[in-house]
């Protein structure tokens, strides 16, 4: 018997690592019906897309460049509205200086 998968399947252990959860939590999700799984022999297999939905992960992550572009556009909009950009390095220095003054 040949089984063909159109999608990547992961074991309970792999699913737990991918979700940052315990393997028992993944098994509970399967038993409760929150997560679909197929049993082959002694092993449970989970479709990657089902796992992504159960873990709250976006199945198609956006590239980092998209995030950087959005941040750049937001910064430009804030400057256009008259908001002064924050220099994070200077902000951290000020906070440290204030904290050191409080400590004496």
Per-residue pLDDT of the chain (104 residues; tens, 9 = 90+): 445 556 789 999 999 998 899 999 999 999 999 999 999 888 999 998 889 888 887 555 556 667 788 888 888 988 999 988 888 889 899 999 999 999 87
Domain span at 92: 64-103
Strand extents, DSSP E, 1-104: 9-11, 38-40, 43-47
Rounded to whole angstroms, what are the CA distances from 42 to 11, 39, 69, 72? 11, 7, 47, 51
pLDDT of residue 101: 93
Query: If we measure between CA atoms, which residue out of 81, 17, 82, 87 comes closest to residue 48?
Result: 17
Q: Tell me, yes or no, if the pTM score tops 0.85.
A: no
**pLDDT attached to residue 67:** 78
Number of domains making up the chain: 2
Identify whether residues 44 and 72 lie together within a single domain.
no
User: Distance (Å, rounded) from C-alpha 16 to C-alpha 21?
Assistant: 5
Any domain includes 4: no
**Cα–Cα distance measured from residue 101 to residue 94, given in angstroms and rounded to the nearest whole number:** 11
């Amino acid at each position: 018997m040949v089984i063909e998968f159109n999608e990547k399947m992961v074991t309970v252990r792999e699913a737990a690592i991918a979700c940052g959860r315990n393997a028992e939590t993944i098994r509970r999700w399967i038993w409760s019906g929150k997560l679909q799984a197929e049993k082959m022999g002694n092993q449970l297999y989970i479709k990657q897309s089902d796992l992504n939905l159960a873990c709250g992960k976006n199945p198609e992550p956006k590239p980092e460049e998209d995030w950087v572009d959005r941040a750049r556009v937001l910064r430009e909009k804030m400057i256009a509205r008259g908001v002064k950009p924050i220099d994070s390095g200077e902000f951290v220095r000020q906070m440290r200086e204030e904290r050191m003054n409080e400590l004496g």
